[in-house]
Amino acid sequence: MEVTPLDLQKPFEAKDIKWRVQQAGVSKKNGKPYVMAIPYVSNRAIQKRLDELFGVFGWENIFKATEDGTGYLCGITLHNGDKSVTKWDGANNTNIESLKGGLSGSMKRAAVQLGIGRYLYELDPAFAKCD
- pLDDT for 6-26, tens place per residue? 999 999 999 999 999 999 999
Q: What's the confidence (pLDDT) of residue 43?
A: 93
Query: Is pLDDT at 124 greater than 80 in this prediction?
Result: yes
**Residue 2 banded pLDDT, cuts 50, 70, 90:** confident
The answer to whether 77 and 85 are in contact (CB under 8 A) is yes
Alpha helix ranges (H) inside the chain: 5-9, 43-54, 98-113
97 vs 65: which has the higher pLDDT: 65
When mean pLDDT is compared across 27-36, 47-56, 61-70, the lowest value belongs to 27-36
Burial class (CB in 10 A: 0-12, 13-18, 19+), 122: exposed
What does the pLDDT look like over 73-103, one tens digit per residue? Answer: 999 999 998 999 999 999 999 888 889 999 9
The mean pLDDT value for 41-55 works out to 96
